[in-house]
């Protein structure tokens, strides 16, 4: 009997490795697949494109999940359903401390749950925390690839990219030391945590929200994630993340 494909990712569970790198853009997933040996596309549907190959002999799956936690949660759920035990999210973020330059690589150690999705899964009191072994592997991989002492800290996971009329406690998060903002990390951490699995995140700053606010920049058109410094350091970030996934010790859930 033919193996049933995952409903949305459209890959067969046997085609998914135990270690996965998740990224927002399908094009970014395709680029990452080029880092692997014998990478094969195993699923493609909507924003979800999935490849499996090996890095230095270790099987790794690469999967894109689109923008926002609602859709990303679909990918995370099906990856876990297929047997993934360790996930790293690699993506862009907005720096939330004035000292963070554009292109800075950042390690996420936990997240603020304003994602709008994880609260549908478990009460808001449940913390979104990166697994310590994944954090250690990412920091070691950064060091090995010339990114010494990257900022590491709490990430704000937002439900929207653009603001509306409702007040946003931006200044509060800055004063609290939040290092960056993005849109999917908290969801991943919660979904891994409630399953007893490992997850973490590596990010590159595509702009600094603090400096833009201080300069009075227009909120929408001043955002440009396509600059060369962002592109080049995004590729560095992806190499670091793949190497960390390959280097981390195997994990067997309790």
What the chain holds in terms of domains, given with CATH numbers, is 13-247 (3.40.50.1580)
* pLDDT above 70 (res 116): yes
Average pLDDT for 49-61 = 99
**Measured between alpha carbons, how far is 242 from 147 in angstroms, rounded to an integer?**
15
pLDDT given at position 125: 98
Q: Are strands 58-64 and 19-23 parallel, antiparallel or unpaired?
A: parallel
What tokens appear for 10 in the block?
């459209």
pLDDT given at position 216: 65
What does pTM read for this prediction?
0.96
Per residue in 33-54, pLDDT (tens digit) is: 999 999 999 999 999 999 999 9
Label residue 58 by pLDDT band (50, 70, 90). Answer: very high
b/e sequence 26-63, b meaning 16+ C-beta within 10 Å? bebbbebbebbeebebbbbeebbbbbbbebeebbbbbb
Per residue in 155-170, pLDDT (tens digit) is: 999 999 988 899 889 9
Average pLDDT for 116-126 = 98
Per residue in 168-218, pLDDT (tens digit) is: 899 999 999 999 999 999 999 999 999 999 999 999 999 998 887 777 655
């Amino acid at each position: 009997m033919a193996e049933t494909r995952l409903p949305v990712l459209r890959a067969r569970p046997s085609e998914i490795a135990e270690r996965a790198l998740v990224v927002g853009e399908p094009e970014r997933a395709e680029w990452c697949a080029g880092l692997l040996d014998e990478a094969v596309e195993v699923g493609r549907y909507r924003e979800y494109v999935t490849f499996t190959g090996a890095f230095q002999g270790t099987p790794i799956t690469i999967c894109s999940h689109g923008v926002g936690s609602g859709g990303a949660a679909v990918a995370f759920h099906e990856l876990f359903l297929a047997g993934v035990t360790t996930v790293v999210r690699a993506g862009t973020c907005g720096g939330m401390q004035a000292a963070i330059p554009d292109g800075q690589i950042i390690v996420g150690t936990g997240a603020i749950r304003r994602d709008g999705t994880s609260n549908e899964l478990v009460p808001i009191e449940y913390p979104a925390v990166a697994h310590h072994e994944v954090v250690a592997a990412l920091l070691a991989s950064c060091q090995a690839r010339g990114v010494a002492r990257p900022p590491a800290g709490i990430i704000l996971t937002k439900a929207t990219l653009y603001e509306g009329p409702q007040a946003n406690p931006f200044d509060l998060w800055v004063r609290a030391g939040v290092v960056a903002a993005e849109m999917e990390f908290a969801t991943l951490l919660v979904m891994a945590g409630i399953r007893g699995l490992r997850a973490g995140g590596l990010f590159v700053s595509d702009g600094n929200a603090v400096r833009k606010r201080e300069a009075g920049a227009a909120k929408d058109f001043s955002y440009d994630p396509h600059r060369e410094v962002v592109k080049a350091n995004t590729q560095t970030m992806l190499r670091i993340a793949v190497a960390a996934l390959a280097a981390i010790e195997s994990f067997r859930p309790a």
